[in-house]
Amino acid sequence: MNTKYNKITGFADAKEVLKAAPSKVQNLSIPSDIPHGDMPGDKVEIGEGHISKARTVFPLLCKELEKVFAENPYNRAVVAVCGGSGVGKSEIASLLSYMLQSAGIGSYTMSGDNYPHRIPMYNDAERVHTFRRGGIIGMVEAGVMNPENAEKVREYQASDDDANRSHLESDAWFKSYFDAGSKALENYLGTPNETNFEEVDRIMKAFKDGADKLYLKRMGRDESSLWYDEIDLSKKQVLMLEWTHGNSDFMNEVDIPILLNSTPEETLAHRRSRNRDGKPDSPFTTLVLELEQKKLTSQAHKAKIIVSKAGDIISYDEFKKLMNI
């Protein structure tokens, strides 16, 4: 990482810019080709719903930025737009960055999806392997491992149906496989076992400490698509992180977490409409979404701004009521 520092503007100037920003971008025209996150191949399709949400969030974000800028000698802040799969993180983060830039506050959008230890294909395989290994160990520990049950599990695995809860109705012993596999998967998803949170935290800290330039990771979908780009951040005051795990307990440098809320049912419906990953409603995908939502819900109390699926700003108490917790 580059350790050369510079102070961008005085706080008094930044404060005035932030105060004027909401009115300045109120009627801002949004072109279709605005800059977006730095995940290679990521498709960002901005719709009117995304624009409406971003306009709702923006004035609140500016107020939060005033507080953070006041505490940072470089007038810098890290903002994380987080939420479940398909909730619009990439689009909202891109829009907020564009609005900040248009108002005179430099912003760079960084994708957390560049920082797993494995490329997507291998990470997906590791998720499945983690679930299945945990399930088999669970059967052994429960004393239900025998040739007949082992063969049944292999049949379920062969058809990618071994994360299907419906098997609990016909096979009582299957509970040991499903519960242990789910626990093992939970201990992998969104943890340092899956993702290099330490690297992300280092990047965010260096940015807030005034780094002019940083090397940021790029991860595509195959073995040869892994590299680092040197990014000029000398005129940026906001690092906008878009990522499911942007509010994770494994990071310490996020100043303003913004949670885009979505129930597992809403997330799955959206994935079906996009046919993402080719198996949008497979039992395993459903389980992953449920476990990710569990983590998002447990971290929601830290969010500075929570946005409902309908686009309303809600309090944490309203969030708990909506999510039945």
Q: pLDDT for 143-172, tens place per residue?
A: 999 999 999 999 999 999 999 999 999 999
Outline where DSSP puts E strands in the chain: 77-83, 107-111, 213-219, 226-232, 238-242, 256-260, 305-307, 313-314
3-state secondary structure at position 217:
strand
- pLDDT value at residue 325: 85
93 neighbors 109 (Cβ within 8 angstroms) = yes
Q: With 80 as the cut, is the pLDDT of residue 12 above it?
A: no
pLDDT per residue as tens digits for the range 186-198: 999 999 999 999 9
- pLDDT value at residue 2: 41
For residue 171, give Cα distances in angstroms to 20, 161, 176, 178.
63, 14, 10, 11
pLDDT per residue as tens digits for the range 64-110: 999 999 999 999 999 999 999 889 999 999 999 999 999 999 999 99
- pLDDT value at residue 194: 98
Q: With 90 as the cut, is the pLDDT of residue 302 above it?
A: yes
Please state the rounded mean pLDDT for residues 245-269. Answer: 89
160: left (phi over 0), alpha (psi -120 to 50) or beta: left
- Return the exposure string of 222-236: e unless at least 16 CB atoms fall within 10 Å of the residue's CB, then b: eeeeeeeeebebeeb
pLDDT per residue as tens digits for the range 103-141: 999 999 999 999 999 999 999 999 999 999 999 999 999
Outline where DSSP puts E strands in 72-212: 77-83, 107-111
Question: Considering only CA atoms, which of 34, 57, 110 is closest in space to residue 258?
Answer: 57
- pLDDT value at residue 5: 35
- pLDDT value at residue 54: 97
pLDDT per residue as tens digits for the range 269-299: 666 665 544 555 789 998 998 999 999 999 9
Question: Considering only CA atoms, which of 110, 89, 117 is closest in space to residue 40?
Answer: 110
Please state the rounded mean pLDDT for residues 248-259. Answer: 98
pLDDT band at 6 (very low <50, low <70, confident <90, very high): very low
- pLDDT value at residue 104: 94
d(CA 153, CA 171): 11
Domains belonging to the chain, first-starting first, are 11-115+198-322 (3.40.50.300), 120-186 (no CATH)
- For tokens 């005033």, name the residue: 66
d(CA 247, CA 225): 27
- pLDDT value at residue 4: 38
How many helical (H) and strand (E) elements, i.e. helices and strands, does the chain have? 11, 8
- pLDDT value at residue 33: 86
Q: With 50 as the cut, is the pLDDT of residue 3 above it?
A: no
**Which position has the higher pLDDT, 223 or 226?**
226
Question: Considering only CA atoms, which of 58, 72, 89 is closest in space to residue 305?
Answer: 58
pLDDT band at 316 (very low <50, low <70, confident <90, very high): very high
pLDDT per residue as tens digits for the range 27-41: 899 998 898 888 887
